[in-house]
């Protein structure tokens, strides 16, 4: 069975600090996708990134960066120079793609989320 | 495009009542899913559909029914509400192109309280 572990339940930082959110996953499939979603206090789920299991390149998008390491089954998320608007719950999610699944991400396994609070 | 829409936004039910949470998407996505979010639990998959007329159970299907008669709509029915079904419910849709699969698009959620 798939499993996503976000060991950090809550993180509190001061504005402009860098912060890394950890995500460790378990799957038996060789083909899968990993995602990060942000849930601000307003409650909606905002998509941040999708990563295919065959693509181990790290990615940077503005102040956000992601480090994918298959060897350790981790997909960590770093926010550089954090801002108050980054305060939210962040979810890591895994979508495995069994051979006969049709190849779509309709079954996500979510971690329990990390509540990030950025204080001014 | 409106994306994924859900109605109602809030609902209070009494134990034993039934109701349907509505979900619609206008992006012509093949795949649709229902999740529930409980404090400290992340999101858990209730039911999903890979196309009109095809549905299957997720991780926590008990007490819920779904059907998918059209590509656009994927309603979630609570047959006899229980306090344990107090939660925030999210509907999502997604698609694939060839062998490439894309992220799920989530609706704004329905906050349900069962007393």
Q: Is the pLDDT of residue A100 over 80?
A: no
Q: Does A107 touch chain B (CB under 8 A)?
A: yes
Q: Is the pLDDT of residue A102 over 80?
A: no
Pick the range with the lowest mean pLDDT from A38-47, B26-35, B100-109.
B100-109
The per-residue pLDDT for range A18-27, each reduced to its tens digit, is 999 999 999 9
Q: Is the pLDDT of residue A34 over 70?
A: yes
Q: Does A100 touch chain B (CB under 8 A)?
A: no
Mutate to test the interface with A, among B42, B92, B106 (most CBs of A within 10 A): B42
The per-residue pLDDT for range B49-103, each reduced to its tens digit, is 989 999 999 999 999 999 999 999 999 999 999 999 999 999 999 988 777 778 8
pLDDT of residue A57: 86
Q: How far is A3 from A111, CA to CA, in rounded Å?
A: 8
Strands B100-101 and B96-97: antiparallel
Per-residue tokens: B20: 């349907």
Round the average pLDDT of chain B to a whole number and report it.
94
Q: Does A64 touch chain B (CB under 8 A)?
A: no
What pLDDT band is residue A30 in, cutting at 50, 70 and 90?
confident
Round the average pLDDT of chain A to a whole number and report it.
91
Q: How far is B88 from B103, CA to CA, in rounded Å?
A: 20
Q: Are A105 and A95 in contact (CB under 8 A)?
A: yes
The per-residue pLDDT for range A39-74, each reduced to its tens digit, is 999 999 999 999 988 888 888 899 999 999 999 999
Residues with Cβ within 8 Å of A12's Cβ and at least 6 positions away in sequence, in order, are A116, A117, A118, A119
Q: Is the pLDDT of residue A103 over 70?
A: no
Pick the range with the lowest mean pLDDT from A101-105, A108-112, B56-60.
A101-105
Strands A24-26 and A32-39: unpaired
pLDDT of residue A99: 46
Cβ count within 10 A of residue B38: 14
């Amino acid at each position: 069975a798939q499993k996503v572990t976000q060991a950090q339940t809550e993180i509190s930082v001061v504005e402009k600090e860098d912060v890394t959110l950890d995500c460790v996953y378990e799957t038996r499939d060789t083909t899968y996708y990993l995602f990060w979603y942000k849930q601000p206090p307003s409650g909606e789920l905002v998509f941040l990134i999708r990563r295919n299991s065959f693509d181990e390149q790290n990615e940077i998008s503005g102040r956000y960066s992601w480090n994918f390491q298959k060897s350790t089954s981790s997909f960590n998320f770093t926010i550089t120079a954090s801002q108050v608007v980054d305060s939210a719950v962040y979810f890591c999610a895994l979508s495995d793609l069994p051979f006969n699944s049709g190849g779509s991400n309709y079954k996500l396994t979510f971690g329990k989320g990390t509540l990030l609070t950025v204080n001014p | 495009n409106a994306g994924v829409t859900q109605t109602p936004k809030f609902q209070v039910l009494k134990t034993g009542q039934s109701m349907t949470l509505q979900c619609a998407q206008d992006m012509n996505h093949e795949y649709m899913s229902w999740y529930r979010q409980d404090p400290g639990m992340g999101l858990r998959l209730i039911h999903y559909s890979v196309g009109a007329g095809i549905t299957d159970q997720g991780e926590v299907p008990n007490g819920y029914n779904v059907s998918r008669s059209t590509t656009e709509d994927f309603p979630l029915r609570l047959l006899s509400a229980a306090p344990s079904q107090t939660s925030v419910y999210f509907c999502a849709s997604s698609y694939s192109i060839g062998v490439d699969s894309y992220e799920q698009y989530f609706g704004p959620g329905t906050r349900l309280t069962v007393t």
